[in-house]
Structure 1
Amino acid sequence: MQIDIRPVEDSDSDALLHILEVVFAEYPGCVLNIEEVPELLQPAIAFAEMGGCLWVAQQQEQVVGCVGIVPTERAERMELKKLYTLPAVRGQGLGRRLIEQVEAEARRRYAHSLHLWTDTRFTTAHRVYERLGYTRLPETRELCDRSHSVEYHYEKRLC
């Protein structure tokens, strides 16, 4: 079945929260707390206010994935955000397509690199990033959230 990628709309909020709830439930200790992702209540407005973009992957009428990009404090670097897909659509190249969407936008904005933070528990995502040329950097960060998240830092040079 075909999966289309389109810009997010604020009306996609419930679908995005559902995706995060499903994904987080796959990992012991991960908890979706709406207070920790307020940008997903009005995602189109929130990402526009951050100077970024968020896209959703849609299969027929169902939103099955998402990915975003936001600028960083360094003009030459952008950050990949919110890459999530439902389990039923994994293994079909959707993660790659979503990452390519972000990389194209970063290049359009003349960024030299993309970076991202990903929970240490998301091992499948780590493999996808590494296959697509992202390098894990030495630093980690603790979020002090309800999930007690610790994140790895990844980066990819675009030039």
Structure 2
Amino acid sequence: MEMVFDIRKATNRDGDQIATLIAEVFADYPGCIFDRAGEFPELDAIADDFSTDHGCIWVVEGHGRVLGCLGIKFDPAQKQAELHKVYLDRDTRGKGIAQRMLKTALDWLEQTHPDCTDLVLWTDTRFEAGHRFYEKCGFARTGETRTLDDLSASSEYCFKARPGDIRFRIG
């Protein structure tokens, strides 16, 4: 049976379902702690948060709930975009949905910020399946890492690509 889903721009009302999604993803990784009030206050007005930073966030809906999200913010001074809040429900992974979300975001980026020269993202070192996805799409690990002051004691890798170098195998 084919999965039916819709990718649409998120609204502020999606914050609760995005929070649920992130909490479910974190639960799959030992040591990842989801603290919405302390570490994810932007979920209370998620669309506004991305809009303020010249960006946008999308959700994937299916079966009456949010199954995924992906956001992008743009820094006009640096001409650089950064992916944020890239999460996908465990049961929907490996079906091309993440690539469709990324393509949606890059199409928007090309139309809205055609002067973008670089696309970066930071991802927790524990999210190995995500690393493989980014590399498959054309991102390269920069060698840069950072440690966050969060409850999960997160350490992150930086990945980077030029928007035109992103590859898709959709459909």
Would you call these one fold, judging by a TM-score over 0.5? yes
Alpha carbons 2:83, 2:119 under 8 Å: kept = yes
C-alpha separation in 1, matches of 2:29 and 2:63: 28
Question: Are residues 1:62 and 2:65 paired?
Answer: yes
Question: Are residues 1:158 and 2:163 paired?
Answer: yes
Unmatched 5+ residue regions in structure 2? 165-171
Q: List, as ranges, runs of 4+ consecutive aligned residues in structure 1 with deviation greater than 6 Å.
A: none
C-alpha separation in 1, matches of 2:117 and 2:108: 12
Distance 1:74 1:136, change over 3 A: farther
Residue by residue over 1:84-109, the C-alpha shift from the partner in whole angstroms, topping out at 9 and shown as x without a partner, is 01111111111111111222222221
TM-score, reference length from structure 1: 0.95
1:131 aligned partner, one-letter code? K
Aligned to 1:5: 7
1:48 to 48, 51, 64: 51
**Residues matched between the structures, number:** 159
Alpha carbons 1:136, 1:155 under 8 Å: kept = yes
Unmatched 5+ residue regions in structure 1? none
TM-score, reference length from structure 2: 0.88
SS of the aligned residue for 2:23 comes to helix
Alpha carbons 2:59, 2:70 under 8 Å: kept = yes
Alpha carbons 2:69, 2:85 under 8 Å: kept = yes
Alpha carbons 1:103, 1:114 under 8 Å: kept = no
SS of the aligned residue for 2:7 comes to strand
Residue by residue over 1:66-124, the C-alpha shift from the partner in whole angstroms, topping out at 9 and shown as x without a partner, is 00000136442100111101111111111111111222222221112210000000000
Q: CA RMSD in A?
A: 1.2
Aligned to 1:25: 27
